[in-house]
Structure 1
């Protein structure tokens, strides 16, 4: 079990390093342009907000892994962390709405409406993760209630 937790912690660190690298490259590209259209600025702001909220999710996942390592997986503390992850993912999905002007402009210039569908799909990805996190929160809530009921009967 300890090896799995360490592997998951290493995966979180690797993911965060990859996100930092992509953010630095994207920021250098954004700030190297002299003229920035509005839709590119919306894309950049949306990207930065999403990255910051994503790091909050990564921090909360690391916190949850620490609880699992201490054998407190189905406690109220873990339930609070899952709830915070759910709220943060909802904020990420709202922040992703800022990429739609970019996709609309590109689709309009290229006369390719399929590009706008790709933009909508990218916006719906975090929303899908939000729905999944709601399901996980309910599962953790039921497991925590069952654990407390089980502890009271013993």
Structure 2
């Protein structure tokens, strides 16, 4: 399984690079745009910074857990409690990201109202929805893995 997991490890690393670039280059520009579009909310610029930078922390932690999960697969420890714990952490990170971005959805409505662009609201729903899909997927995998571990331990005891 080494070549497949190596490829996935590289993909996990490559996923982190564009998000880092977005945090460095796009988030300050988004904060400035938000401040210009909604001058009556002077602190919106800082809210944009807080939400995006605060959501980057669980994002990178989830990537780290995914990397760990791939390491467990390499060591033939995929069906272990460590994998279940990693999936649980990924699930909580996805829920955190979704919650943070859901908190700023009212501001997407204000942007859409100000710019007369209703598509902005749909754009604001992308990150919370995608994060919740990841959280549900991780929860399903976590339960499935836990069940497989329980079955494996029962079989080990009966043999």
Please classify the TM superposition score into its range, dividing by the shorter chain length.
Answer: 0.7 to 0.9
Larger RCO (alpha carbons 8 Å, 6+ apart): 1
Instruction: Give the aligned partner of residue 6 of structure 1.
Output: 6
Instruction: Give the aligned partner of residue 29 of structure 2.
Output: 29
RMSD: 2.2
- Structure 1 segments, 4+ long, off by >4 Å, are 30-33
Instruction: Give the aligned partner of residue 119 of structure 1.
Output: 124
Residue by residue, what CA displacement relative to the aligned partner does 1:127-148 show, whole Å, maximum 9, x if unpaired? 1221121111111111111111
- TM-score, normalization: structure 1? 0.87
Instruction: Give the aligned partner of residue 48 of structure 1.
Output: 53
Instruction: Give the aligned partner of residue 141 of structure 1.
Output: 146
User: In structure 1, the residue corresponding to 2:21 is in which secondary structure?
Assistant: helix
Instruction: Give unmatched runs, 5+ long, in structure 1.
Output: none
Residue by residue, what CA displacement relative to the aligned partner does 1:10-56 show, whole Å, maximum 9, x if unpaired? 111111122211211124536878x6743343222111111111000
Distance 1:139 1:58, change over 3 A: same
Contact kept, 8 Å, 1:43 with 1:98, in 2: the verdict is: no
In structure 2, what is the Cα distance between the partners aligned to 1:30 and 1:133?
A: 30
Q: How does 1:11-90 map to 2 (within 5 A)?
A: 11-29=11-29, 37-90=42-95
What is the aligned length?
A: 153
Q: Which moved more, 1:50-59 or 1:120-129?
A: 120-129
In structure 1, what is the Cα distance between the partners aligned to 2:8 and 2:156?
A: 29
Q: Which moved more, 1:87-96 or 1:22-31?
A: 22-31
